[in-house]
Every structure is written in C-alpha cells, then in structure tokens.
Amino acid sequence: MNERSSSNSQYINVQSSLAVPSEPVVAYITGDGIGSDITPVMIEVVNAACKKAYGEQRKIDWQEVYAGQKAFDLTGEWLPKDTLDAIQRAHIAIKGPLATPIGGGIRSLNVALRHQLKLNTCMRPVRYFDGVPSPLKKPESVDIVVFRENSEDIYSGIEFKAGDALCEKLISDLKTVYSVSNIHYPKQSGLGVKVISEPASKALVRRAIQFAIDQNRKKVALVHKGNIMKYTEGAFCHWGYEVVVDEFGGEKVGGFYEIENPHTQEIIQVEDIIADACFQHVLLRPESFDVIATMNLNGDYLSDALAAQVGGIGIAPGANIGDTCALFEATHGTAPKHAGKNKANPSSLILSAEMMLRHMGWTEAADYVLQGVENAINDKQLTYDFARFYEGVDPISTSAYGQAICKRM
Ligand code: NAP
C-alpha cells in the first residue's frame, strides 16, 4: 500500500505546475491588530527555514503591500489597486488578519480580496499537533482538508434590507409574478439570494479530487443541504458527481462512487453527505473523513468547527487559490485587545506560510517550518492562549515563540 508519506503531505499544493525562480517575490500584507505582532515573526521563521534548507541558493524577496488600516492611513483607500496589481504580478501572497472597516464602504476586505483576485477555492487543512489542548479524546484522528467554494452562495452579497422599496417589490413579485405564495413573509423581512453555479461548483470539486489524487487521499465527501435547497445545494452535489464520472472516470459501486487513482491504482471513494449529519460525524468519527468539498457557508462553519476540535483557530492555516494566484492567510481575526503586546500566537500565519512553501515546491523549507512548530509545541514553548491550559507552563512572547521554532528546526 502506498500510504501518505507523512503527516506533512497534507499541505502540499494543488497547483504543482507553478514555476518558481530562486528568489521569488512574495507579496505580504502585515494586517491589522495583532498582524504587526505575528507577521514579522512569520517572515523570520520562513527566512530561517529557507536558509537552513537552501543556504544562499534560494530565498524569498518579500514585498510589503498594503490593505486595511495601514493602507487607509497611507493612501486613503482600504484596498488600493496597487496592492491587487502587485499580488497578481507576484502570483503568491500571504496576509495577516484584516479588520472589517466600519462604515468604510467595503463589506469585508477579505471577501473583496478573494473576489477581485478570483481566488475561488479556499483550502483549510485541519490536523492535530501533539501537545495542543483539544476538547476531543482522540484529536490525532482529525486529518481533514476542507475545500470551500469562495465566490458564491449566500456570500455573493445580493441582499435586500427589510423595509426598503426594492425589498418590498421583490417580496410582492415573489408572491405574484413567481407564485411563491406558500411562504409567509412577515412585515420587515430582509431577503438574501443564494447563487450556486455549475462552473464554480465543478471547478471546486475538480480541485478537491485532483488534490486527493496528488496526495494519495482515500475519500472525498461532497457536503450539501440538497434535501432542502434542491436547486442550489442539491445541484452542487449533482454537478460534483458529473465531475466524478465525466472527468475522472468514476463509477457507482454500492452507495459510493469510486475513482481509480492513476498514480497508485488505489481507489478513492466519493460520497455525498448532508451538512447537518456531517457536523455530527466529523465530531464522532473524524477518522472517516479525508477531503471535504463544499460550498461557501457550509465550508465556513465546517472549517472553523474542525479547527476547534484540534485546538482552535489560533493555529489553523488557510489558503485562497485561483487559477493564476494564491493568497495564504491567518484564519483568525485581528484580536484587537491583544494587538501590539507581543503575546499573540503566530502559528496560524506560520503554518499558512508552510502551505505556501509547499505550493512553491519548496518542500524542504516547509518541512523545517513544520518540524520547528511541532517541536516547540512539544517542548511546551507556548504563547498565552495555549499555555493557560497547562499548570506550571509560563507563556512566552510572540517573538520568543518564533525564536523557539527557529532553534528547533
Ligand atoms: P478574532 O480577532 O479572531 O479574536 C477573537 C479571540 O480569539 C481573541 O480575543 C483571542 O481570544 C483569540 N485569538 C484570535 N487569534 C489569536 C491569536 N493569533 N493568538 C491568540 N489568540 C487569538 O475575532 P473577532 O474579535 O471576532 O474579530 C476581530 C476583527 O477581525 C474583526 O474586525 C473581524 O472582521 C476581523 N476578522 C478578520 C479575519 C481575517 O482577516 N481572515 C477573520 C476573522 C475576523 P482570547 O482573548 O480569549 O485569548
């Protein structure tokens, strides 16, 4: 049996054709709040890993680009066009967390970045690191990669405010023009439109299956709520199976579809599962999940719930991937009350950088980063958020944690 080579393999990229020079430009956004605490530490760790792996042969040319408060202070814009252009030129970028500006005219900078850079797939690997406090009895059985569609669903931003004339008209049209009369609309109802398309659904499922093939994963679960939302979530599942059959030669065997991995001749099982059942099962028997492909909202909830199972979102990495560029990011927010105190946990951003190194094909450097993080946590070199769960463990600062990782590569 050709098993996954190591726990490291889950972060390997889904775009293996990327051609990377020996000194690639990587664009980075420091981020708001704790971004200025964690981003320099992430850069220090990545530089140390590259140096250890390649000496002077390969190194990253870091280029700071601006978004969020820093961009607004410098340019009067929350997300300047120069930033988007620089990320597109670099093809690879990494970002700290961004605050959502209140009254700034942008709904969410993160959503805007994903839309404008056409980063249609969000990839969230979730695995356990020994020594991280977790609510599960056997957290080590969680090793799941969530592929979440990034551009559609209820996140499309098509919403109508309760009481607005347009909203009232739409409600009236639904009743009269579209004969949706069996639904009761109380006064002051807001409306949202859920968009699920065939091309976006198929692109997401295709990427998830290709990842399963490349990384020798054994199962792909299509997660949906198609029993209730037949023409959106149900259609996602239907189109997903079309990809399985038409593009990967899948065949129905019992309750599953089976695809033969062309590299190993092993079978990858594809099944679909209703979202609420999936939430139960990932908690009760996480070992039966491997790769999950789902839409935006389900994926948002699922990836954070899974991250909590293995110790919280402070340590979960993430990537947003499109056809031409990829943006790696800390999955937590700006934690404003801890900003500037050199105490936040930089692991989420550091492990996102580890995914980035694998995406670039710099696997040796990625291995050093992972080894450093694993060893630091094992040695109870912990920032406050983890240290508080252990009696007698004094928390260390963000920068000291970075140094602890570098020493343990
Ligand atoms: P948050 O910033 O994630 O912080 C919530 C709590 O989580 C913190 O108070 C802290 O808990 C813990 N935490 C988060 N990151 C941590 C880290 N690296 N190290 C240690 N503890 C950490 O969530 P929020 O307060 O709801 O959001 C604040 C802002 O961030 C908002 O403007 C929101 O829009 C934005 N946001 C951005 C992103 C992104 O850029 N991807 C994602 C989510 C939210 P304790 O105080 O209990 O230790």
The half-sphere exposure of 22 on its side-chain side, counting CA atoms within 13 A, is: 7
Residue nearest to atom 7 of ligand 1 (CA): 335
Contact 124, 331 (CB under 8 A): yes
> If you measure from the C-alpha of residue 313 to the centroid of ligand 1, how many angstroms do you get, rounded to a whole number?
9
Which is nearest to 388 in space by CA: 310, 304, 309, 311?
Answer: 311
> If you measure from the C-alpha of residue 383 to the centroid of ligand 1, how many angstroms do you get, rounded to a whole number?
15
In angstroms, rounded to a whole number, what is the distance separating the alpha carbons of residues 156 and 104?
A: 19
Report which ligand 1 atom has the smallest distance to the Cα of 34.
18
Report which ligand 1 atom has the smallest distance to the Cα of 330.
41
The half-sphere exposure of 291 on its side-chain side, counting CA atoms within 13 A, is: 27
> If you measure from the C-alpha of residue 160 to the centroid of ligand 1, how many angstroms do you get, rounded to a whole number?
28
Does the C-beta of 333 come closer than 6 Å to ligand 1? yes
Which pLDDT score is estimated for 174?
A: 87
Residue nearest to atom 42 of ligand 1 (CA): 333
Which is nearest to 205 in space by CA: 271, 301, 267, 127?
Answer: 271
The residue with tokens 């990587």 is 26
Which pLDDT score is estimated for 103?
A: 56
Report which ligand 1 atom has the smallest distance to the Cα of 99.
32
pLDDT in tens, the chain (409 residues): 333 333 333 333 444 457 888 999 999 999 999 999 999 999 999 999 999 999 999 999 999 999 999 999 999 999 999 999 999 999 999 999 998 766 556 678 888 898 899 999 999 999 888 878 888 888 899 999 999 999 898 877 788 999 899 999 988 888 888 877 777 777 788 989 999 999 999 999 999 999 999 889 999 999 999 999 999 999 999 999 999 999 999 999 988 999 999 999 999 999 999 999 999 999 999 999 999 999 999 999 999 899 989 886 678 899 999 988 999 999 889 999 999 999 999 999 999 999 999 999 999 999 999 999 999 999 999 999 989 888 899 999 999 999 999 999 9
> If you measure from the C-alpha of residue 229 to the centroid of ligand 1, how many angstroms do you get, rounded to a whole number?
32
Go through 324-363 and write b for each residue having 16 or more CB atoms within 10 A of its CB, e for each that does not: ebbbbbbbbbbbeebbeebbbbbbbbbbbbbbbbbbbbbb
Residue 276: active-site member = yes
In angstroms, rounded to a whole number, what is the distance separating the alpha carbons of residues 334 and 116?
A: 22
In angstroms, rounded to a whole number, what is the distance separating the alpha carbons of residues 101 and 307?
A: 26
Does the C-beta of 149 come closer than 6 Å to ligand 1? no
Instruction: Enter the DSSP assignment of 254.
Output: T
In angstroms, rounded to a whole number, what is the distance separating the alpha carbons of residues 307 and 322?
A: 23
> If you measure from the C-alpha of residue 168 to the centroid of ligand 1, how many angstroms do you get, rounded to a whole number?
36
Residue nearest to atom 38 of ligand 1 (CA): 333
Residue 246: active-site member = no
* Alpha-carbon distances of 379 from 132, 373, 402, 404, rounded to whole Å: 11, 10, 13, 9
